Amino acid sequence: MKDQVTIPKPLRDHLRLAPGDHLEFEILPDGRAQIRKAEAESGPPPDRFARLVGRASAGLTRTFSSARTPRSPGCAC
């Protein structure tokens, strides 16, 4: 399950949040909510391409394939 919430920019800046960061919410005894940036999980950093695995559609693949132009023989480009 992926829940999303919009955080005002001044608060994002204060918490040094980046897209995809996880947050922790706590309801205090007086009913107020407390928000904080979740601690990073230990372990190796995620592969920057891992989130893209399996995302390319056939149309996207064709677009990149057709964008390649044949090079002239002897071209040093």
Summarize pLDDT for 17-44 with one digit per residue, the tens. 888 888 889 999 999 999 888 887 666 6
Residue 44 counted as domain residue: no
Total-model pTM: 0.43
Residues with Cβ < 8 Å from 35, sequence gap 6 or more? 7, 11, 15, 23, 24, 25, 26
Query: How wide is the angle at C-alpha 7 spanned by C-alphas 15 and 25, nearest 5°?
Result: 70
What is the domain count for the chain? Answer: 1
Residue 21 counted as domain residue: yes
Whole domain around residue 32: which residue ranges?
1-39
Residue 35 counted as domain residue: yes
| CATH number for 21 | 2.10.260.10
Say if CB 62 and CB 72 are below 8 A apart: no
Buried b (16+ CB within 10 A) or exposed e, 4-23: eeeeeeeeeeeeebeeeeee
Q: What percent of the chain has pLDDT over 90?
A: 17
Residue 66 counted as domain residue: no
Residue 74 counted as domain residue: no
